[in-house]
Each structure stands twice: as structure tokens, then as C-alpha cells.
Amino acid sequence: MNEEVKVNIDKADLFTIIQFGSKEDFIKKLQLENKSIENIKNLCDNNKVSLLSKCLAFRKFEIAKMLLTTGTAINVVSNQGLNELHYLVSNIHEVGAIAIGNILLEKGVDINLADKKYGNTPLWYLCLEATRSNSEELYAFIEKCLYLKPEIDKLNSSGISIRIMIEKGDFKFLSKLIKKVSEQK
């Protein structure tokens, strides 16, 4: 659940407000600084984390939708090699996360971008999350990703691809999804 604390919007920057505040605080800050979403939609912090990525990391999906409707940049890669979908995956089980994921896919988010630390793609992390749950909505989202023809045999820094993770882990449903999509190519 999003626990919001009282944020001093006079002193806090937009990134802090996204992390600790509410959509209303965000809007008030824009008004206070006489800015519009258009003016700030592509801001990044010192680590090249975009406002959109910060929203996804802190489950501020309403603000994320506002940014996405204004044409905010997609595939902004942080210093850690993470894009928007990487940030969303850690919250993929939250209400509204998959809807945002679908918007990101429609806008062309890179599902093959490997992070710098482990060489894992957002789809790799999504499949890992799917092994921990029994969510039909998540399976459907992964299936949609698979139809984009991702690099499921690309090895990460530990020598494990998406296919290897699924087959070695004996995750039958994900194996069936890969087979189903492969047969339709």
C-alpha cells in the first residue's frame, strides 16, 4: 500500500514528492513552480532515473499515467542500465501495474534491455516474478511480451537465460507459453 507522509512541497523536489507524497502534492508542486507536466515530463535525477521510472518504483501509477499521456520519453536508461519496465517489475503485483505495463509495451518499451549489474532484462524479472505467483493477469502480460519476440536465449552474467530459468525450474505454465508463442511465429 502507498503510505504517504506529509511532504513540505515548498522545499521538496519533484522526485521526493513522487517518493513520499501524493498525486495532489505533485500537482500542487507544479502549480507552486508555475510549471506544467509538459515542462517536466522528461526530467531525470543524478542517476538518470526519470520521473516516470521513479513513479513506477514507488507505485505512483496515477502520476505515471499523467506522464504517459503527455508523451514522456520511454526507454530512458538509468546509470544502472534500467528502463521503465525494470522499475515496474518489482511492483507488478500491485493493482494497476499491469495496465501501466501494457501502456509501456504499446509505447515501445525495450523488453530486451539488460541491466548492468546482472545482465537481466525486464522480461527475465517478469518471468521470475511469475514463478512466485499464480496470477493469470501476469501470465497474460508475459504472453503479450513473448509475442514481441524477445531474446529468451540471451544469457545473463550468471549464464542463465529466460529459457534456462524456466526449463530448469520446471515452470510448466511458462514453458507452455514459450512453446505456444514459438509455434505461432
Tens of pLDDT, residue by residue, the chain (185 residues): 445 568 899 999 999 999 999 999 999 999 999 999 999 999 999 999 999 999 999 999 999 999 999 999 999 999 999 999 999 999 999 999 999 999 999 999 999 999 999 999 999 999 999 988 888 999 999 999 999 999 999 999 999 999 999 988 878 889 888 888 888 85
Q: Are residues 70 and 126 in the same domain?
A: no
Could you tell me if residue 12 is inside a domain?
Answer: yes
DSSP 1-38: --------TTT--HHHHHHHS-HHHHHHHHHHTT--HH
Q: Are residues 32 and 75 in the same domain?
A: yes
Could you tell me if residue 102 is inside a domain?
Answer: no
Residue found under cell 530486451: 112
Question: What is the grid cell recorded at 90?
Answer: 518489482
Indicate the burial class of 68 (C-beta count within 10 angstroms; 0-12, 13-18, 19 or more): buried
Q: In degrees, to the nearest 5, what angle opens at C-alpha 11 toward C-alphas 5 and 12? A: 50
Q: Are residues 130 and 85 in the same domain?
A: no
Q: Are residues 123 and 83 in the same domain?
A: no
Q: Are residues 2 and 87 in the same domain?
A: yes
CATH number at residue 9: 1.25.40.20
Contacting residues for 119 by C-beta, under 8 A, at least 6 apart: 155, 156, 157, 158
For residue 179, what are the domain limits?
A: 111-185
Q: Are residues 184 and 123 in the same domain?
A: yes
Could you tell me if residue 104 is inside a domain?
Answer: no
The pTM score is 0.92
Could you tell me if residue 170 is inside a domain?
Answer: yes
Pick from 92, 127, 156: which residue ends a domain? 92
Indicate the burial class of 32 (C-beta count within 10 angstroms; 0-12, 13-18, 19 or more): exposed
Number of domains the chain contains? 2
Q: Are residues 148 and 184 in the same domain?
A: yes
Sign of CA dihedral 155, 158, 57, 178: positive
Contacting residues for 36 by C-beta, under 8 A, at least 6 apart: 30
Pick from 61, 92, 123: which residue ends a domain? 92
